[in-house]
């Protein structure tokens, strides 16, 4: 397979073109790739990108297809059926699935691609919209060494680092691990902040102190700073964080591994999804603050 450079694969077709994909698309266009897309709404955040009416139409026209959809259901709707991307792809084509979906959906797409002679790489990304904009995403890829190397020019264009997680399916599994740590860390912060406030600590002092200690990751410090000011502008919406934790808890249960911490975190994130589905998932901190104020 020839490396997927702008010279060899000039046109990339996105299936799903939301907040993350539009930012990836900017980097790819700046590198010399052409970009087209399909979105269920028919709208694009980038007026320079042509939006086609179906996923199939994108796949028929593009040299490489990049899926970037929110969940298993959206992946199924856009990949299969008479207007799905797989129908439009030809043998020898390449499909890069950057979506965060279940291992089962990942395996099903791989099998469907193989049946058509299409190379499918599961390549979810670690990072939110600030990382996507700053070319700071980490791409977590499952697939053969050769296929991952051939796709490297695209991955290098949208991210700062590509991790080859192992054979097909490994990228999707690693993404669940990463997001599980992220979600559980945020819920631990939300609960301990709630305790600090309920016990009488000054709110500004508490948030400022937590911003200085080494035990909190830079990602979660960013969430704390947003929560301090009540700014829950979405970088990673609550509905998607809860979805990823739900997929992880389900996957762990299938392995019969006890994970009470993650199961508990899912409940807090479910509160966040219920109350603030489209706000950033750090809104869970505000929910727990209301408990501290006896205003839940």
The residues that are catalytic are 175
Q: Which tokens belong to 293? A: 């104020």
Q: Is 61 exposed, middle or buried (0-12, 13-18, 19+ CB in 10 A)?
A: middle
CA–CA separation, 57 vs 176, rounded Å? 31
* Residue whose C-alpha is closest to residue 83's, from 58, 54, 115: 54
Could you identify the residue written with the tokens 């959906």?
Answer: 105
Q: Which tokens belong to 146? A: 């050769």
CA–CA separation, 83 vs 71, rounded Å? 18
Residues β-bridged to residue 126: 138
CA–CA separation, 116 vs 279, rounded Å? 39
94 contacts 117 by C-beta, under 8 angstroms: no
CA–CA separation, 109 vs 86, rounded Å? 9
Give the number of other Cβ atoms within 10 Å of residue 198's Cβ: 14
CA–CA separation, 236 vs 36, rounded Å? 24
Could you identify the residue written with the tokens 């694969």?
Answer: 9
């Amino acid at each position: 397979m020839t490396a997927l450079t702008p010279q060899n694969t000039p046109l990339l077709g996105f299936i799903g073109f939301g907040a993350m994909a539009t930012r990836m698309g900017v980097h790819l266009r700046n590198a010399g790739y052409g970009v087209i897309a399909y979105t269920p709404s028919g709208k694009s955040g980038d007026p320079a990108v042509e939006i086609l009416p179906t996923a199939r139409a994108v796949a028929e026209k593009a040299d490489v297809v990049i899926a970037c959809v929110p969940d298993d259901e959206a992946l199924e709707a856009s990949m299969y059926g008479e207007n799905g991307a797989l129908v439009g792809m030809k043998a020898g084509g390449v499909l890069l699935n950057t979506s965060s979906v279940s291992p089962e959906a990942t395996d099903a797409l791989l099998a469907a691609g193989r049946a058509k002679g299409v190379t499918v790489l599961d390549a979810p990304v670690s990072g939110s919209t600030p990382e996507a904009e700053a070319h700071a995403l980490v791409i977590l890829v499952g697939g053969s060494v050769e296929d991952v190397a051939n796709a490297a020019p695209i991955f290098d264009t949208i991210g700062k680092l590509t991790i080859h997680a192992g054979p097909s399916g490994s990228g999707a599994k690693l993404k669940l691990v990463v997001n599980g740590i992220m979600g559980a860390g945020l819920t631990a912060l939300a609960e301990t902040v709630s305790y600090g406030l309920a016990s009488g600590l000054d709110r500004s002092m508490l948030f400022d102190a937590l911003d200085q200690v080494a035990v909190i990751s830079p990602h979660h410090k960013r969430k704390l700073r947003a929560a301090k000011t009540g700014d829950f502008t979405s970088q990673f919406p609550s509905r998607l964080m809860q979805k990823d934790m739900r997929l992880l808890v389900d996957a762990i249960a299938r392995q019969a591994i006890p994970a009470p911490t993650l199961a508990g975190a899912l409940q807090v994130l479910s509160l966040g999804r219920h109350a603030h589905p489209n706000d950033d998932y750090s809104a869970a901190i505000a929910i727990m603050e209301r408990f501290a104020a006896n205003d839940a």
